[in-house]
A and B are shown apart, each in its own frame.
Chain A
Amino acid sequence: MREPKAMLMDANQMNRALSRIAHEIIEKNKGTEGVALVGIRRRGIPLAERLAAKLKEFEGKEVPVGTLDITLYRDDLTELSAVPQVHRSEVKFKLPGTVVILVDDVLYTGRTVRAALDALLDIGRPASIQLAVLIDRGHRELPIRADYVGKNVPTSHREVVEVHVSEIDGDDSVAVYDL
Chain B
Amino acid sequence: MAGLKRKDILGLREMSTEEIDLILDTADALKDIATRPIKKLPTLRGKAFVTLFYENSTRTAKSFELAGKYLSADAINISISSSSVQKGETLKDTARNLEAMGIDAVVMRHPMGGAPHFLAKHLRASVINAGDGMHEHPTQGLLDMLTIRQRKGGFKGLKVAIIGDIFHSRVARSNVFGLAKYGAEVWVAGPSTLLPAGFEELGVKVTTRVEEALEGADVVNVLRLQLERQEKALFPTVAEYSKFWGVGPERLKLAKPDHVLMHPGPMNRGVEISTSAADGEQSVILEQVTNGVAVRMALLYLLLGGGDAA
Contact = CB atoms under 8 A, between A and B. Distances in A.
A81 B306 contact: yes
B43 A72 contact: yes
A124 B32 CA distance: 14
B71 interface: yes
B32 A82 contact: no
A20 to B, nearest CB: 34
A139 interface: no
A166 to B, nearest CB: 25
Nearest to B3: A82
Interface string A135-157: 00000000000000000000000
Interface string B8-42: 00000000000000100110111010001110111
A78 B42 CA distance: 12
Contacts of A77: 43, 305-307
Contact of A83 (B30, B37, B305): B305
B150 to A, nearest CB: 13
A83 B37 CA distance: 26
A57 interface: no
A80 B304 CA distance: 11
B41 A73 contact: yes
A79 interface: yes
B309 interface: yes
A88 interface: yes
B41 A83 contact: no
Interface string A72-108: 1100011111111111110000000000000000000
Contacts of B306: 77-78, 80-83
B28 A88 contact: yes
B1 interface: yes
Q: Which of A80, A86, A118, A123 has the most CB of B within 10 A?
A: A86
A86 B310 contact: no
B176 interface: no
A82 B37 CA distance: 30
Contacts of A124: 37
Contacts of A83: 1-3, 301-302, 305-306, 310
A86 B309 contact: no
B63 to A, nearest CB: 19
A122 B41 contact: yes
A49 interface: no
Contacts of B301: 72, 83, 86
A73 B310 contact: no
Interface majority SS (helix, strand, loop, mixed), chain A? loop
Nearest to B37: A124
B22 A73 contact: no
Nearest to B304: A83
A122 B26 contact: no
A118 B42 contact: yes
Interface string A31-43: 0000000000000
Nearest to B302: A83
Interface string B290-310: 000000001001100111011
A81 B38 CA distance: 29
Interface in B148-174: none
Nearest to A83: B305
A80 B307 contact: yes
Nearest to B32: A88
B310 A82 contact: yes
A54 to B, nearest CB: 29
Contacts of A86: 26, 29-30, 298, 301
Contact of B1 (A78, A80, A87): A80
A62 to B, nearest CB: 23
Nearest to B298: A86
Contacts of B36: 122-123
Contact of A85 (B22, B43, B310): B22
Interface of B: 1-3, 22, 25-26, 28-30, 32, 36-38, 40-43, 71, 298, 301-302, 305-307, 309-310
16 contacts: A69-B29, A72-B30, A72-B43, A73-B41, A73-B42, A73-B43, A77-B43, A81-B3, A81-B310, A82-B3, A85-B1, A85-B25, A86-B26, A88-B29, A89-B32, A122-B38
